[in-house]
C-alpha cells in the first residue's frame, strides 16, 4: 500500500499544445487518479498559453508534469514553473530542452561514451529531393516524440518520403537522418535516486506492424512488451549502464526512459533517445518496469511527487 499524500495539493498538467496531446491526457488522468487514491487534493490543468495565470490562481504545492512533446517536455513549461517557484516533477529546464533536441542530445551522449547512431541534421527539402545518406536510414523530426513524423527508408528505395516537402509538414525545417539499425526495440526506465540514476529493467517492444510507430505505441494490439527482454544478460546489463550514463550526462531528474535498438546479428547496441517524461499509464513501459521490480503504479506516482523540487 502506497503511503498517503493527505493534505498535499497537486496540480496535474496534462493535454497541452503538442502533437502528443491525446497521449498526455491519458497519462495525466492516470496519474491524477493515482494521486487521489493516495489522498492528495488534485487539480487537473489542461495546459494552454494561460498556464502561468492558472497556476498562480490555483497555487499548488507541487506540479505533476504529465505533458508530452513540444512546449511541455522541452524546457518551456519547466521555465514557467521555475519562474513561479513551484516544485515540479521530472527534469529541469536544461535537461528537458537538451533531451528533446535529438542532434544536441546525441552529441552530449556520444561525448559521455554512449553508443548512438550516426547521421545528422538536414533541411527537409534537401532530404525530400534525394538520399542524403545510403539507405536504409530513418528520417525523424529533431524535436518530436511518440514516433510522430518518423519514416524508415528501406534498402533499395528509389526516393525519400515526399511528405517532407509538403506544406502540411509541421515538424520543423530540419530533420534528423540516421542509419537504420535492424533488430530489437528495447527500452530502459531510470529513476534518479539520492545515490544517482538507477535503471529498472530492459523491455523488448514487439510491434505488430514491425515498426514501433505511433499506432503501434498507442493503438489497441499495436505492440506487446516482454519484460525482462529475452536478450543476453551482458546486453541487458550494458543497456542499463548506458541508460544510467545518458540520464546523468543530460542532467535528467526524476523518471526517464531510454530507447535502444539492438542488432542481435551484428551484436550492435545503440541508444536512440532519452524521454524525460515517459508515458504514465499503468501499462506504459516505465510503470510496467517499475512493477517488475516491485514498485506499484501508485507507489511510482507517489515517488515522483515526493521527488519534486524547485529549482530542478
What is the average per-residue pLDDT within 98-122? 95
Taking only the tens place, the pLDDT of each residue in 187-225 is 999 999 999 999 999 999 997 765 544 444 445 556 789
Catalytic-residue membership of 146: yes
Going by C-alpha positions, the residue among 132, 129, 257, 136 that lies closest to residue 197 is: 257
Taking only the tens place, the pLDDT of each residue in 267-284 is 999 999 999 999 998 889
Range of lowest pLDDT (46-60, 74-88, 213-227): 213-227
Catalytic residue among 213, 273, 288, 307: 273
Cis peptide before 311 (omega within 30 of 0): yes
What is the average per-residue pLDDT within 83-98? 98
- Res. 72: pLDDT tops 50: yes
Got the DSSP string for 221-245? TSEEEESS-SS-HHHHHHHHHHHHH
CATH number of 120-179: 3.30.1490
E strands in the chain: 9-14, 41-46, 62-65, 120-123, 137-141, 151-153, 174-179, 184-193, 196-199, 203-207, 223-226, 255-263, 268-275
Non-local (6+) Cβ contacts of 154 within 8 A are 135, 136, 180
**CATH superfamily of the domain spanning 98-117+182-276:** ATP-grasp fold, B domain (3.30.470.20)
- Res. 240: pLDDT tops 90: yes
Catalytic residue among 88, 137, 218, 262: 218
pLDDT value at residue 149: 77
Do residues 99 and 105 make contact, with C-beta atoms less than 8 angstroms apart?
A: yes
Do residues 219 and 211 make contact, with C-beta atoms less than 8 angstroms apart?
A: no
Locus of grid cell 501508485? 298
Catalytic-residue membership of 74: no
The boundaries of every CATH 3.30.470.20 domain in the chain are 98-117+182-276
Catalytic residue among 24, 27, 146, 284: 146
Rounded distance, CA 65 to CA 27, Å? 10
Distances (CA, A) of 118 to 42, 73, 106, 215: 44, 24, 9, 26
Catalytic-residue membership of 212: no
pLDDT value at residue 159: 82
Rounded distance, CA 102 to CA 32, Å? 30
Decide: helix, strand or coil at residue 275: strand
Catalytic residue among 18, 20, 244, 261: 20
Rounded distance, CA 184 to CA 301, Å? 29
Mean pLDDT of all residues belonging to the chain: 92
Catalytic residue among 73, 174, 213, 259: 259
Decide: helix, strand or coil at residue 303: helix
Distances (CA, A) of 45 to 16, 28, 73, 311: 9, 9, 16, 21
Catalytic-residue membership of 238: no
What global pTM score does this model have?
Answer: 0.89
Catalytic-residue membership of 96: no
Question: Which is more confidently placed, 156 or 304?
Answer: 304
Do residues 261 and 272 make contact, with C-beta atoms less than 8 angstroms apart?
A: yes
Catalytic residue among 92, 119, 149, 279: 279
Catalytic residue among 275, 284, 288, 298: 275
Catalytic residue among 124, 245, 253, 257: 257
Percentage helix, strand, coil for the chain under 3-state DSSP, each rounded to 5: 35, 25, 40
Rounded distance, CA 200 to CA 190, Å? 6
The boundaries of every CATH 3.40.50.20 domain in the chain are 9-90
Going by C-alpha positions, the residue among 241, 239, 307 that lies closest to residue 267 is: 239
Going by C-alpha positions, the residue among 87, 89, 19 that lies closest to residue 286 is: 89
Catalytic-residue membership of 166: no
- What percent of the chain clears pLDDT 70, i.e. is strictly above it? 93
The boundaries of every CATH 3.30.1490 domain in the chain are 120-179
CATH number of 9-90: 3.40.50.20
Taking only the tens place, the pLDDT of each residue in 128-137 is 999 999 999 9
Amino acid at each position: 500500500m502506497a503511503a498517503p499524500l493527505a493534505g498535499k495539493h497537486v496540480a496535474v498538467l496534462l493535454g497541452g499544445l503538442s502533437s502528443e496531446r491525446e497521449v498526455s491526457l491519458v497519462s495525466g488522468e492516470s496519474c491524477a487518479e493515482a494521486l487521489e487514491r493516495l489522498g492528495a487534493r488534485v487539480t487537473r490543468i489542461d495546459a494552454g498559453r494561460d498556464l502561468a495565470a492558472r497556476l498562480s490562481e490555483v497555487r499548488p504545492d507541487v506540479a505533476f508534469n504529465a505533458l508530452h512533446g513540444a512546449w511541455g517536455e522541452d524546457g518551456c513549461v519547466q521555465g514557467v514553473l521555475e519562474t513561479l517557484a513551484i516544485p515540479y516533477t521530472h527534469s529541469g529546464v536544461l535537461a528537458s530542452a537538451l533531451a528533446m533536441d535529438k542532434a544536441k542530445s546525441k552529441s552530449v551522449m556520444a561525448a559521455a561514451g554512449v553508443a548512438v547512431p550516426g547521421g545528422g541534421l538536414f533541411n527537409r527539402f534537401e532530404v525530400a529531393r534525394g538520399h542524403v545518406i545510403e539507405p536504409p536510414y530513418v528520417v525523424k523530426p529533431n524535436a518530436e516524440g511518440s514516433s510522430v513524423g518518423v519514416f524508415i527508408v528501406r534498402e533499395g528505395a528509389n526516393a525519400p518520403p515526399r511528405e517532407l516537402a509538403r506544406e502540411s509538414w509541421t515538424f520543423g525545417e530540419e530533420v534528423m537522418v540516421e542509419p537504420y539499425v535492424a533488430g530489437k526495440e528495447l527500452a530502459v526506465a531510470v529513476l534518479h535516486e539520492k545515490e544517482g540514476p538507477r535503471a529498472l529493467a530492459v523491455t523488448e517492444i514487439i510491434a505488430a506492424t514491425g515498426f514501433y510507430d505511433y499506432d503501434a505505441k498507442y493503438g489497441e494490439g499495436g505492440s506487446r512488451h516482454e519484460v525482462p527482454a529475452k536478450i543476453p544478460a551482458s546486453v541487458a546489463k550494458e543497456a542499463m549502464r548506458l541508460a544510467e550514463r545518458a540520464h546523468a550526462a543530460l542532467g535528467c531528474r526524476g523518471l526517464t526512459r531510454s530507447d535502444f535498438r539492438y542488432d542481435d546479428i551484428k551484436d550492435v547496441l545503440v541508444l536512440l533517445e532519452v524521454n524525460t517524461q515517459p508515458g504514465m499509464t499503468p501499462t506504459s513501459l516505465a510503470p510496467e518496469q517499475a512493477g517488475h521490480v516491485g514498485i506499484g503504479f501508485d507507489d511510482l506516482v507517489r515517488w515522483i511527487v515526493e521527488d519534486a523540487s524547485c529549482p530542478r
